Protein backbone atom coordinates (compact mmCIF):
# COMPACT_ATOMS: atom_id res chain seq x y z
CA UNK A 1 0.00 0.00 0.00
CA UNK A 2 2.17 2.81 -1.29
CA UNK A 3 -0.17 5.77 -0.97
CA UNK A 4 -3.05 4.30 1.02
CA UNK A 5 -3.66 5.00 4.67
CA UNK A 6 -6.62 2.82 5.57
CA UNK A 7 -8.71 3.04 8.73
CA UNK A 8 -11.71 0.91 9.67
CA UNK A 9 -14.65 1.78 11.90
CA UNK A 10 -17.13 -0.90 12.98
CA UNK A 11 -20.51 0.79 13.26
CA UNK A 12 -24.23 0.24 13.52
CA UNK A 13 -26.56 -2.49 14.77
CA UNK A 14 -24.95 -5.31 12.76
CA UNK A 15 -21.27 -4.28 13.10
CA UNK A 16 -20.65 -3.00 9.60
CA UNK A 17 -17.17 -2.06 8.42
CA UNK A 18 -16.85 1.55 7.29
CA UNK A 19 -13.51 2.27 5.61
CA UNK A 20 -11.68 5.57 5.32
CA UNK A 21 -9.13 5.45 2.51
CA UNK A 22 -6.75 8.40 2.61
CA UNK A 23 -4.09 9.31 0.08
CA UNK A 24 -0.92 9.89 2.11
CA UNK A 25 0.44 12.28 -0.53
CA UNK A 26 -2.56 14.58 -0.91
CA UNK A 27 -4.73 14.06 2.16
CA UNK A 28 -7.75 13.35 -0.05
CA UNK A 29 -10.00 10.66 1.40
CA UNK A 30 -12.74 8.26 0.34
CA UNK A 31 -15.54 7.13 2.65
CA UNK A 32 -16.60 3.58 1.84
CA UNK A 33 -19.94 2.37 3.26
CA UNK A 34 -20.73 4.99 5.93
CA UNK A 35 -22.78 2.60 8.02
CA UNK A 36 -23.94 4.79 10.90
CA UNK A 37 -22.85 7.46 13.39
CA UNK A 38 -21.84 10.34 11.11
CA UNK A 39 -20.27 12.24 14.02
CA UNK A 40 -17.98 9.30 14.81
CA UNK A 41 -16.89 9.07 11.18
CA UNK A 42 -16.32 12.82 10.97
CA UNK A 43 -14.18 12.81 14.11
CA UNK A 44 -12.08 9.97 12.73
CA UNK A 45 -11.59 11.86 9.47
CA UNK A 46 -10.48 14.93 11.40
CA UNK A 47 -8.02 12.79 13.37
CA UNK A 48 -6.58 11.54 10.09
CA UNK A 49 -6.32 15.11 8.74
CA UNK A 50 -8.24 13.90 5.71
CA UNK A 51 -10.26 15.82 3.15
CA UNK A 52 -13.26 13.73 2.00
CA UNK A 53 -13.74 13.61 -1.76
CA UNK A 54 -16.53 11.05 -2.25
CA UNK A 55 -18.70 8.42 -0.61
CA UNK A 56 -18.58 4.98 -2.25
CA UNK A 57 -21.43 2.56 -1.54
CA UNK A 58 -20.91 -1.14 -2.20
CA UNK A 59 -24.68 -1.66 -2.07
CA UNK A 60 -27.85 -0.09 -0.75
CA UNK A 61 -28.72 -1.91 2.47
CA UNK A 62 -29.53 0.13 5.57
CA UNK A 63 -26.41 -0.97 7.43
CA UNK A 64 -24.13 0.45 4.74
CA UNK A 65 -25.86 3.78 4.04
CA UNK A 66 -26.96 5.01 7.47
CA UNK A 67 -24.67 8.06 7.61
CA UNK A 68 -24.40 8.72 3.87
CA UNK A 69 -26.76 11.69 3.59
CA UNK A 70 -25.44 13.46 6.68
CA UNK A 71 -21.83 13.09 5.54
CA UNK A 72 -22.71 14.11 1.98
CA UNK A 73 -24.21 17.34 3.28
CA UNK A 74 -21.54 17.96 5.90
CA UNK A 75 -18.63 17.66 3.46
CA UNK A 76 -20.47 18.60 0.23
CA UNK A 77 -19.34 15.45 -1.55
CA UNK A 78 -21.15 13.05 -3.90
CA UNK A 79 -22.58 9.65 -3.03
CA UNK A 80 -21.54 7.09 -5.64
CA UNK A 81 -23.20 3.72 -6.31
CA UNK A 82 -23.72 1.35 -9.20
CA UNK A 83 -26.55 2.41 -11.52
CA UNK A 84 -28.21 -1.00 -11.16
CA UNK A 85 -28.48 -0.54 -7.38
CA UNK A 86 -30.78 2.47 -7.54
CA UNK A 87 -33.88 0.29 -7.21
CA UNK A 88 -32.53 -1.03 -3.90
CA UNK A 89 -31.32 2.35 -2.64
CA UNK A 90 -34.64 4.06 -3.28
CA UNK A 91 -37.00 1.38 -1.93
CA UNK A 92 -37.40 1.13 1.89
CA UNK A 93 -38.40 -2.53 1.56
CA UNK A 94 -35.48 -3.51 -0.65
CA UNK A 95 -32.91 -1.45 1.26
CA UNK A 96 -34.21 -2.90 4.54
CA UNK A 97 -34.55 0.48 6.27
CA UNK A 98 -38.06 -0.60 7.25
CA UNK A 99 -36.41 -3.10 9.63
CA UNK A 100 -35.43 -0.38 12.06
CA UNK A 101 -38.58 1.66 11.56
CA UNK A 102 -37.01 4.56 9.64
CA UNK A 103 -38.10 3.58 6.14
CA UNK A 104 -36.31 5.93 3.74
CA UNK A 105 -34.77 5.91 0.28
CA UNK A 106 -31.56 7.37 -1.08
CA UNK A 107 -30.53 8.63 -4.51
CA UNK A 108 -26.90 8.40 -5.57
CA UNK A 109 -25.37 11.57 -6.96
CA UNK A 110 -23.13 9.65 -9.32
CA UNK A 111 -24.22 6.46 -11.07
CA UNK A 112 -21.40 4.04 -11.74
CA UNK A 113 -21.26 1.21 -14.26
CA UNK A 114 -19.40 -2.05 -14.60
CA UNK A 115 -15.87 -1.47 -15.81
CA UNK A 116 -15.68 2.21 -14.96
CA UNK A 117 -12.18 3.32 -14.03
CA UNK A 118 -12.32 6.37 -11.80
CA UNK A 119 -9.63 8.58 -10.37
CA UNK A 120 -10.77 9.45 -6.84
CA UNK A 121 -8.58 10.88 -4.07
CA UNK A 122 -5.64 10.20 -6.37
CA UNK A 123 -6.38 6.47 -6.55
CA UNK A 124 -7.36 4.51 -9.64
CA UNK A 125 -10.61 2.81 -8.68
CA UNK A 126 -11.99 0.02 -10.88
CA UNK A 127 -15.73 -0.59 -10.55
CA UNK A 128 -16.62 -4.29 -10.56
CA UNK A 129 -20.30 -5.22 -10.71
CA UNK A 130 -20.56 -8.19 -8.34
CA UNK A 131 -24.26 -9.06 -7.94
CA UNK A 132 -25.50 -11.78 -5.63
CA UNK A 133 -26.11 -10.05 -2.32
CA UNK A 134 -28.12 -7.44 -4.23
CA UNK A 135 -28.66 -6.84 -7.92
CA UNK A 136 -26.33 -3.84 -7.98
CA UNK A 137 -23.67 -4.86 -5.50
CA UNK A 138 -20.27 -3.54 -6.48
CA UNK A 139 -16.69 -4.17 -5.42
CA UNK A 140 -14.06 -1.43 -5.67
CA UNK A 141 -10.59 -2.51 -6.79
CA UNK A 142 -7.54 -0.29 -6.37
CA UNK A 143 -4.95 -2.02 -8.60
CA UNK A 144 -1.90 0.00 -7.61
CA UNK A 145 -2.66 -0.53 -3.93
CA UNK A 146 -3.60 -4.20 -4.46
CA UNK A 147 -6.76 -3.67 -2.41
CA UNK A 148 -10.38 -4.73 -2.93
CA UNK A 149 -13.40 -3.41 -1.02
CA UNK A 150 -15.86 -6.27 -1.46
CA UNK A 151 -18.90 -5.09 0.50
CA UNK A 152 -21.16 -8.03 1.33
CA UNK A 153 -20.10 -10.09 -1.68
CA UNK A 154 -16.97 -11.78 -0.35
CA UNK A 155 -16.23 -12.38 3.33
CA UNK A 156 -13.44 -14.32 4.97
CA UNK A 157 -14.43 -17.96 4.29
CA UNK A 158 -17.98 -16.93 3.43
CA UNK A 159 -20.21 -14.76 1.25
CA UNK A 160 -23.11 -12.40 1.84
CA UNK A 161 -26.68 -13.55 2.20
CA UNK A 162 -28.66 -14.00 -0.99
CA UNK A 163 -32.18 -14.27 0.49
CA UNK A 164 -32.85 -10.52 0.63
CA UNK A 165 -34.72 -8.73 -2.20
CA UNK A 166 -32.83 -8.90 -5.54
CA UNK A 167 -30.31 -11.43 -4.14
CA UNK A 168 -29.23 -14.49 -6.14
CA UNK A 169 -26.90 -17.35 -5.26
CA UNK A 170 -26.30 -18.01 -8.95
CA UNK A 171 -25.16 -14.42 -9.41
CA UNK A 172 -23.01 -14.72 -6.28
CA UNK A 173 -21.14 -17.73 -7.67
CA UNK A 174 -20.56 -15.96 -10.98
CA UNK A 175 -19.30 -12.83 -9.22
CA UNK A 176 -16.80 -14.89 -7.26
CA UNK A 177 -15.54 -17.21 -9.97
CA UNK A 178 -15.77 -14.98 -13.04
CA UNK A 179 -14.55 -11.75 -11.43
CA UNK A 180 -13.13 -11.64 -7.92
CA UNK A 181 -11.19 -14.90 -8.01
CA UNK A 182 -9.48 -13.73 -11.22
CA UNK A 183 -7.80 -10.85 -9.39
CA UNK A 184 -4.14 -11.21 -8.36
CA UNK A 185 -3.89 -13.62 -5.45
CA UNK A 186 -2.00 -11.11 -3.29
CA UNK A 187 -4.96 -8.71 -3.40
CA UNK A 188 -6.06 -7.75 0.11
CA UNK A 189 -9.82 -7.98 0.57
CA UNK A 190 -11.65 -5.63 2.95
CA UNK A 191 -15.24 -6.85 3.36
CA UNK A 192 -18.37 -5.22 4.71
CA UNK A 193 -18.29 -7.29 7.89
CA UNK A 194 -15.71 -9.17 9.94
CA UNK A 195 -12.01 -9.59 9.18
CA UNK A 196 -9.89 -8.81 6.15
CA UNK A 197 -8.56 -11.59 3.94
CA UNK A 198 -6.82 -12.13 0.58
CA UNK A 199 -7.91 -13.52 -2.76
CA UNK A 200 -5.36 -16.32 -2.38
CA UNK A 201 -6.78 -17.36 0.99
CA UNK A 202 -10.36 -17.32 -0.27
CA UNK A 203 -9.58 -19.34 -3.38
CA UNK A 204 -8.08 -21.98 -1.12
CA UNK A 205 -10.46 -22.02 1.85
CA UNK A 206 -13.77 -20.38 0.94
CA UNK A 207 -16.42 -23.12 0.59
CA UNK A 208 -18.26 -21.07 -2.02
pTM given for the model: 0.97
CA-wise closest residue to 155 among 35, 15, 44:
15
Domains contained in the chain, CATH given: 4-205 (3.60.15.10)
Percentage of the chain surpassing pLDDT 70? 100
Mean pLDDT along residues 175-183: 98
Residue pair 138/58 in contact by the 8 Å Cβ criterion? yes
In the predicted structure, residue 15 carries a pLDDT above the cut 90: yes
Q: What's the pLDDT at 1? A: 53
Under the banding of pLDDT at 50, 70 and 90, the label for residue 102 is confident
Residue 189, pLDDT score: 98
pLDDT at 186 over 70: yes
Which pLDDT band, with edges at 50, 70 and 90, does 101 fall under?
confident
pLDDT at 136 over 60: yes
Task: Write the pLDDT tens digit of every residue in 34-91.
Answer: 999 999 999 999 999 999 999 999 999 999 999 999 999 999 999 999 999 999 999 9
Q: How many CB atoms lie within 10 A of CB 101?
A: 6
Q: How many CB atoms lie within 10 A of CB 39?
A: 11
Over residues 109-127, mean pLDDT = 97
What is the 8-class DSSP label of residue 183? S
1 in Cβ contact with 147 (< 8 Å): yes
Hey, CA dihedral for 83, 184, 207, 196, is it positive or negative? negative
Amino acid sequence: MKQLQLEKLVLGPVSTNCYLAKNRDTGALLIIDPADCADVIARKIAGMSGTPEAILLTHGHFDHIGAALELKNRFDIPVCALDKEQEVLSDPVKNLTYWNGSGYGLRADRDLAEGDELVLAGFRVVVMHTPGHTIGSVSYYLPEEKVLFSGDTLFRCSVGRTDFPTGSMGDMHRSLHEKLFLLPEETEVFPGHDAATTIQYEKRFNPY
